[in-house]
Structure formats: structure tokens, C-alpha cells
């Protein structure tokens, strides 16, 4: 069957799956060849539809392809021009959709490589075979890429190319000192109590560009960057830590773990009402050992041992007014920061902490590998569900204990930056944000036990407060 000259207009479609340079050179060549074909056959080109840097195999939405189908259904085109049929489709199901639309609209397809007559049985068979071959080739390429990425992850290397990571040069291995210092400063300030919003404003106010050169930082971009274990020299693959990375760290593993925990905790707290209690989660009941809950009563804030369905073993008999106990603990913390005894104790622990942190990190990575291996074995039906669950429990418990201990050690490391600052902090304490006050108090205080009150006594009794310091 010969091709008839279109009576209205032809639609040219061009697509390239991976445009790493963003120049669009691949689609430009396709458009040029399609225009040349139209000129040779005397066809009028009505419109160009281009999807750049979008795969036809992954099933992602292709906006311009969808626009072309709508235009065809509206009767605006009676011919589709493409460089090759695989520029239109690499999924057989989508080809069948195009066949239905083209048949209803009386539209044919011409390609630079080969004409395809979807109106004949032979032409449709050839089209289906071509798309099936393209789909198989894409699947094989996907498997090769997946295997290559697995190998790179095992070796601690980055995934191919892409955007340059902030803090590193284009090779992803060499630290860019100017950006690395910014990253270290951001991590320190975040752990000291500053918010992601405040740090984002600081980056934008100081006109520090992103790794792509953009002058505008977004909170989500900054949060993702600080939460990425790669800045601690750890390799993440498919959402899991797989081991040390081949590139050097910008911040320590311990500091990175604490940054991620802090961000995760803030994400959970963002759905709660604003906190007005400095010592929430830090006070214990002398009688039952439960945490005291923040509890407002008219104009006065209290900490209360609350008994309810979730805490049936709580005694419900201990309470204390919030303001005087917060004032007492704050003053004690600031005084303790200036004591030589705290500096000496921290110095003795620092050497042990570095070695312990390294051992804990190794243990965490090993346990994560074991959980992954158990999941694979269960997925392949090597072990049944009951055995899989039983095997996971001790590993998960050990993993959580290691993470908790690493967090405790990280707290002591951060305490070093506060030593000797008590007098200075005392002057600015009332003006500090509550979150920053909590960070400082939490670095020094592990918990405070609240003793029994005396019936009939209305004044605050500081002897009821028995603090336990971290060091």
C-alpha cells in the first residue's frame, strides 16, 4: 500500500531517554531527519511534539506525547512522523492504545527508518514485533544497569554521573573545601538547635549557590542533603546503608547519625502542637519511674505523672510546677558547663568514645546486611515466614541498642563545643529559642527524678529535684 499525501498536517514526534547534558542535541537530530522526510514526500508539518530526557520504557507520563494523541483525536493531524517506531513506544500495551486511536482517526505513521502501515494486518504485525524487540532490549539494558549499580554499591562507588554532590568536585571523590566547610557549619548549627528554615535563609542571604549553580536553596533540598549518609562517607543503595563509601567523609559518622536522628525526630514532632515545655521527656517520677507529662492547668504549666490506658503502671501521684523546676535545671546546667570537673570527665571519655563509635558503626552495618540477607532468603522462599520473623527479632533489637549507644556517644561529642560557655549562655538564655535551650540542656542532663511533694506546702522545694548528668 502506498502512502497518500496528508490532506491537513503531519505531527512530528521526537524523544530521547537520557539527555545528560541537557542540550537536546538528540531530539534536534530526530526533528531534522523528520522534516527532511516530510519535504521529500511533500507533506505539511503541522506541529512538533518533543519529550526530552524521558524514557518510553519506564511508563512515565510523556506530556507532549499525550498532547499529540489529544490533537489526533481532535482531528488536527492525519499523519505521525518519527525517526523510528521505538521513539514512539517501547511498551506493547501503549502501541495497542496508539493503534486504536490512529484507526479511529484514520491516521498512519511514517518513520525515517521504516514506514509502518497500522491499517493492514501485515503492517500491524511488523509494528508489534518491532516494539517487542525494543521492549526486550530495554529490559536487558535495565538489568545490566541494575547489576552495574549493585557492583558499584558493593565497591562503595557512586552511581554513574548525575548532579555534582554539594561539597565534592565533579568526580564525586574530591572534597571541595569551600562547600565542605559550609556543610560542616550547617551540621554544627543544626545540632545546636537552629532550624532548617533558618539555615535555608542564611544560605540564600549569603548567596551561597547549590551544586547546580542555583542561587536559591529550598528547605527540602537542604534537609535531603543533611540527611544523606553520603556526607559521612557511607554508601546508600536502594534506601539501605551498605557500607563505607569510596569517597572521603565531610562530617563524622557519629555526627551524621545524630543529624539524621534529629531531622527524623523533628519530622515527627512537626505534626504535634508547638512545644512549650523545656524538660519534656527529661523528668522521671520517683515512685514508678515513668516520664512526667507536660500538663497545662489554667494559667500554670505542670509536669505530671499521668496514668491512662497507655500507661497502666504509672502511679499518677507525682506532679510539679513547670517554671521553677525549669529555672533550677537551666541554672544548674549553665553552671556545670563552666566546671573543670566536666572538662576532665569529657577528656577521659573522648578517647574511648572514638573507638567505641567505630565498633558500633561496624556492628550496625553488619546487622543491616544480615536483615537484608534474611529478607532475600524469605523472598526466595528459602525460609518460611515464622522462621524469618524469629530470626529478625534479635538482630533488630541489637541494631536498636547499637543506634541508641551511638546516639549517646554523639551527645558527649557535641558537649565538647559547649564546655566553658556557661557564663556567655547565661546572658542570652532568655532570648534563645526553646528548641536550642533543649539541645543544650539535653547535652548535659540525662534525666531528673522528681521526689514526693509535701502535703500543704505551696512553695517550690528544690530538694525534690535530683538530676542525673550525662557525664
Q: List residues bridging with 297 in a β-sheet.
A: 300
Q: What is the pLDDT of residue 373?
A: 80
Work out the number of other CB atoms within 10 angstroms of the CB of residue 302.
17
Measured CA to CA, the distance from residue 36 to residue 39 in angstroms comes to 5
Cell readout for 137 is 532490549
Please tell me the predicted confidence (pLDDT) of residue 448: 94
Along the 471 residues of the chain, how does pLDDT read in single tens digits? 344 545 578 999 988 765 444 444 578 888 999 999 898 888 899 999 988 766 544 446 678 888 888 898 888 988 888 888 777 765 666 667 777 787 788 787 888 877 666 555 666 666 566 555 555 554 555 555 556 555 554 554 556 556 788 999 888 888 999 999 999 999 988 887 788 888 998 999 888 999 888 888 998 889 989 988 888 888 765 556 656 777 888 988 888 888 888 887 766 544 444 457 899 889 999 999 988 988 876 678 889 998 876 577 889 889 899 999 999 999 999 988 888 777 666 666 655 666 776 676 677 767 777 877 877 777 777 887 778 778 888 887 887 777 667 656 655 555 656 777 788 888 889 888 887 888 888 888 889 999 998 776 678 889 999 999 877
Cβ-based neighbours of 419, under 8 Å, separated by 6 or more: 337, 342, 343, 346
- Give the pLDDT confidence score for residue 21 in this predicted structure: 42
User: How far is residue 391's CA from residue 8's CA, in Å, rounded to a whole number?
Assistant: 68
Residues 448, 291: Cα–Cα separation, whole Å:
10
What does the pLDDT read at residue 226? 92
Per DSSP, 430 falls in state G
Please give the pLDDT value at position 358: 64
Position 276 scores a pLDDT of 76
- Residue 470: name the closest of 426, 413, 397, 398 by CA: 413
Which residue's C-alpha cell is 547534558? 21
Contact (CB, 8 A) for 450 and 465: yes
Tell me whether residue 120 is exposed, middle or buried, using C-beta atoms within 10 angstroms of its C-beta: 0 to 12, 13 to 18, 19 or more: exposed
Nearest to 333 by CA among 407, 429, 240: 429
Which residues are paired to 450 by β-bridges? 285, 465
Amino acid at each position: 500500500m502506498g502512502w497518500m499525501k496528508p490532506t491537513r498536517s503531519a505531527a512530528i514526534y521526537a524523544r530521547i531517554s537520557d539527555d545528560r547534558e541537557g542540550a537536546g542535541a538528540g531530539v534536534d537530530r530526530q526533528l531534522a531527519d523528520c522534516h527532511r522526510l516530510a519535504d521529500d514526500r511533500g507533506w505539511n508539518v503541522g506541529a512538533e511534539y518533543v519529550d526530552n530526557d524521558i524514557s518510553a520504557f519506564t511508563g512515565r507520563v510523556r506530556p507532549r506525547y499525550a498532547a499529540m494523541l489529544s490533537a489526533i483525536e481532535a482531528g488536527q493531524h492525519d499523519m505521525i512522523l518519527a525517526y523510528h517506531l521505538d521513539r514512539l513506544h517501547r511498551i506493547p500495551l501503549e502501541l495497542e492504545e496508539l493503534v486504536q486511536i490512529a484507526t479511529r482517526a484514520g491516521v498512519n505513521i511514517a518513520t525515517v527508518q521504516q514506514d509502518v502501515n497500522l491499517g493492514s494486518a501485515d503492517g500491524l504485525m511488523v509494528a508489534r514485533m518491532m516494539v517487542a524487540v525494543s521492549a526486550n532490549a530495554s529490559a536487558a539494558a535495565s538489568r545490566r544497569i541494575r547489576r552495574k549499580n549493585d557492583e558499584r554499591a558493593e565497591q562503595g562507588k557512586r552511581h554513574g554521573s548525575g548532579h555534582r554532590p554539594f561539597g565534592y568536585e565533579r568526580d564525586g571523590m574530591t572534597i571541595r573545601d569551600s562547600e565542605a566547610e559550609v556543610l560542616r557549619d550547617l551540621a554544627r548549627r543544626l545540632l545546636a538547635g537552629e532550624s532548617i528554615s533558618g539555615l535555608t535563609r542564611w544560605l540564600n542571604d549569603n548567596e551561597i549557590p547549590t551544586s547546580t549553580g542555583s542561587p536559591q536553596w529550598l528547605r527540602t533540598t537542604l534537609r535531603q542533603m543533611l540527611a544523606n549518609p553520603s556526607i559521612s562517607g557511607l554508601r546508600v543503595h536502594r534506601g539501605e546503608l551498605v557500607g563505607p563509601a569510596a569517597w572521603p567523609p565531610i562530617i563524622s559518622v557519629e555526627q551524621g547519625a545524630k543529624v539524621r536522628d534529629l531531622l527524623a525526630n523533628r519530622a515527627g514532632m512537626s505534626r504535634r502542637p508547638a512545644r512549650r515545655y523545656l524538660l519534656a521527656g527529661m523528668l522521671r517520677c520517683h515512685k514508678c519511674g515513668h516520664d512526667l507529662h507536660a500538663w497545662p492547668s489554667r494559667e500554670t504549666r505542670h509536669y505530671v505523672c499521668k496514668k491512662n490506658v497507655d500507661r497502666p503502671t504509672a502511679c499518677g501521684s507525682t506532679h510539679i510546677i513547670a517554671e521553677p523546676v525549669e529555672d533550677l535545671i537551666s541554672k544548674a546546667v549553665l553552671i556545670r558547663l563552666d566546671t573543670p570537673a566536666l572538662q576532665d570527665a569529657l577528656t577521659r571519655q573522648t578517647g574511648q568514645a572514638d573507638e567505641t563509635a567505630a565498633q558500633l558503626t561496624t556492628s550496625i552495618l553488619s546487622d543491616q546486611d544480615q536483615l537484608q540477607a534474611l529478607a532475600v532468603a524469605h523472598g526466595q522462599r528459602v525460609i518460611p515466614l515464622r522462621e524469618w520473623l524469629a530470626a529478625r527479632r534479635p538482630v533488630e533489637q541489637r541494631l536498636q541498642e547499637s543506634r541508641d549507644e551511638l546516639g549517646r556517644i554523639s551527645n558527649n561529642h557535641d558537649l565538647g563545643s559547649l564546655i566553658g560557655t556557661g557564663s556567655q549562655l547565661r546572658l542570652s538564655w532568655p532570648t534563645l529559642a526553646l528548641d536550642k535551650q533543649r539541645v543544650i540542656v539535653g547535652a548535659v542532663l540525662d534525666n531528673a527524678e522528681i521526689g514526693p511533694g509535701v502535703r500543704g506546702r505551696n512553695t517550690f522545694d528544690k530538694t525534690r529535684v535530683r538530676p542525673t548528668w550525662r557525664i
